[in-house]
């Protein structure tokens, strides 16, 4: 008899418990940190077709353009409200000498892009072209200074050229080149990946250079520019420790880079398309490692900076796959699937949960490279699934995080599992609450109950959902709308004041409530 009762209890739990185990409890009585809008930032490097063909085609191009900027790409980025754009690299930054990219374009010297495909760079897109683009987009500029092969003097001249309004040589050179007013340049990276392509340095050596470069940057820019120290590669926590020990007073932020690899190794990243559930699952799981990396780097930073004055910038992130067949391996051109959109959504949730320390992130990269927002081919353009996630999540930028407790079922594959549901809840300056949810289970619809402690939203103004026919579905130039947002209505306010949401398989949802 006891055995029969036990079996009945287990059966009841299996069939009826699953519907009630997914529960999100939002604490609306106490504000969390502000989610920086810069978490939704972007990165454009002189790599492959990111700048040329992607952003810049030149004023004489038959492709419709605005003073040389591709019109379709510009309008797509403008609609995305991108908050910050990082340039010129990446590895390219530490071979870039900024004076090569000013003055009449036909007189600018050509250089070899040694890191990315060995192509010839004609420098037709330089300081003026980049900073004018940022002004047109209404976004902040993030400049990466050359520490690997440059000098302190070169960096100081660049700062003066960009932001000085005085009667000094570099500002006058800018005026001679057609720009009277200085630009606003908010962020200055002191080198890039100095542990690797930026100079193969030890953390101790780089910390000394950071102190030197940063000191001069302060003298010439003061607090007009946020000084960003070059941080660690993935889980290199010692790099963070050495910099915080030796140079925390010489930087306002510290970066970290982490790329998601779905395949077994860097030498076998696997294809961006046509993959099965094994690589779908491993991609989602690898993306979720961002949580551990951020928390462990933050823990090290907390030891030396408990007041969290120094921000953590994840200024390169995203999934890195094998290049598309038939393309230049050095151009890093890859497709972008529904899996990648879910990696973006769950990564944003991680950044948002850690918004007390994470103050910026920059997807790698904006156009035609790695996990891009936009792909171009000749005169055609396509928006990727990741673009749509950015558009759905931008409502959280500069909003107040509402702390929430999530109980979720697992998505199991083989003998491993990950949480099926991920979330962000925030309240904007107008008092609207935005709830973003994702369901990474590739085949199962999931029901979630959302309860608010404190003030409960009276209504749902509407929502959108991004899903796809398959987890490896992509948008192509011939079929550009296979993966795109649609209105979402599969929710209801219960008499108890709770909200019940039914999430389709492999989906991202954002709801607006008041």
Sequence-ordered list of residues with C-beta below 8 angstroms from that of 496, at least 6 positions apart, any chain = none
Question: Rg (Cα) of the chain, in Å, rounded?
Answer: 24
**Residues whose CB is less than 8 angstroms from the CB of residue 278 and which lie 6 or more positions away in sequence, other chains included:** 413
Which tokens sit at 43?
């990165």
Token pair belonging to 125:
């897109």
Sign of the Cα pseudo-torsion (400, 405, 409, 410, in order): positive
Could you give the CA distance from residue 124 to residue 268 in angstroms, rounded to a whole number?
35
Give how far Cα 227 sits from Cα of 69, 190, 191, 213, 302, Å: 29, 7, 11, 10, 19
Residue with tokens 């960096």: 155
Distance CA 106, CA 366 (A): 27
**Are 512 and 456 within 8 A, CB to CB?**
no
* Helical (H) or strand (E) element with 86: strand 84-87
- Determine contact, residues 137/82, Cβ cutoff 8 Å: yes
Q: In this structure, what token pair is assigned to residue 91?
A: 């590895």
- 135 tagged catalytic: no
Q: Which of 75, 193, 324, 445 is catalytic?
A: 193
Region of residue 451 (phi > 0: left; psi between -120 and 50: alpha; otherwise: beta): beta
Residue with tokens 């907390």: 302
Catalytic residue among 45, 121, 129, 316: 316
Give the number of residues written for the chain.
Answer: 514
Residue 45 among the catalytic residues: no
Strands (DSSP E) found in 303-459: 311-319, 358-364, 374-377, 380-383, 400-407, 410-413, 416-419, 421-427, 433-439, 446-453
Burial class (CB in 10 A: 0-12, 13-18, 19+), 443: exposed
Expressed in angstroms, the distance from the first to the final Cα of the chain is 52
- Beta carbons of 396 and 434 less than 8 angstroms apart: yes
Closest C-alpha to 89, from 196, 2, 177, 182 = 196
Q: Which residues are catalytic?
A: 193, 316
């Amino acid at each position: 008899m006891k055995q029969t009762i036990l079996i009945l209890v287990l059966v009841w739990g299996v069939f009826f418990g699953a519907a009630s185990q997914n529960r999100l409890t939002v604490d609306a009585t106490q504000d969390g940190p502000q989610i920086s809008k810069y978490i939704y930032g972007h990165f454009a490097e002189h790599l492959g077709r990111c700048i040329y063909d992607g952003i810049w085609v030149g004023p004489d191009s038959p492709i419709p353009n605005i003073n040389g900027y591709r019109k379709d790409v510009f309008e797509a980025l403008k609609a995305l409200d991108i908050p910050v754009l990082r340039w010129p690299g990446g590895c390219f930054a530490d071979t870039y000498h900024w004076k090569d990219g000013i003055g009449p374009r036909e007189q600018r010297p050509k250089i070899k892009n040694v890191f990315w495909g060995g192509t010839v760079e004609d420098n037709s897109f330089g300081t003026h072209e980049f900073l004018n683009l940022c002004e047109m987009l209404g976004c902040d500029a993030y400049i990466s200074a050359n520490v690997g092969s440059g000098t302190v003097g070169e960096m100081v001249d660049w700062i003066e050229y960009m932001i000085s309004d005085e009667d000094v040589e570099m500002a006058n050179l800018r005026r001679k080149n057609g720009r009277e007013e200085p630009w606003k340049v908010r962020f200055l990276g002191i080198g890039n990946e100095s542990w690797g392509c930026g100079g193969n340095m030890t953390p101790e050596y780089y910390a000394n250079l950071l102190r030197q470069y940063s000191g001069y940057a302060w003298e010439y820019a003061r607090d007009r520019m946020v000084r960003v120290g070059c941080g660690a590669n993935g889980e290199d926590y010692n790099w963070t420790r050495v910099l915080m020990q030796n140079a925390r007073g010489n930087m306002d932020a510290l970066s970290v880079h982490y790329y998601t690899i779905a395949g077994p190794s860097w030498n076998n990243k696997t294809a961006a398309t046509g993959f099965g559930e094994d690589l779908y699952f491993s991609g989602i799981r690898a993306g979720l490692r961002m949580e551990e990396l951020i928390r462990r780097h933050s823990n090290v930073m907390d030891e030396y900076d408990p007041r969290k004055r120094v921000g953590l910038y994840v200024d390169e992130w995203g999934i890195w796959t094998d290049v598309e067949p038939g393309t230049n391996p050095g151009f890093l051109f890859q497709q972008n699937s529904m899996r990648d959109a879910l990696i973006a959504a769950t990564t944003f949730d991680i950044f948002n949960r850690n918004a007390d320390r994470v103050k910026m992130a920059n997807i790698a990269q904006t156009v035609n490279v790695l996990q891009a927002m936009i792909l171009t081919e000749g005169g055609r353009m396509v928006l990727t699934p990741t673009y749509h996630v950015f558009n759905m999540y931008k409502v959280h930028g500069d909003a107040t995080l509402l702390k929430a407790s999530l109980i979720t079922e697992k998505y199991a594959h083989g003998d491993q599992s990950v949480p099926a549901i991920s979330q962000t809840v925030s309240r904007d300056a107008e008092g609207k609450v935005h709830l973003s949810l994702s369901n990474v289970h590739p085949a199962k619809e999931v029901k979630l109950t959302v309860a608010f402690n404190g003030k409960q939203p009276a209504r749902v103004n509407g929502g959108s959902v991004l899903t796809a026919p398959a987890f490896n579905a992509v948008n192509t130039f011939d079929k550009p709308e296979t993966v795109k947002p649609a209105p979402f209505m599969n929710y209801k306010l219960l008499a108890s004041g709770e909200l019940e949401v039914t999430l389709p398989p492999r989906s991202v949802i954002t709801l607006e409530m008041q």
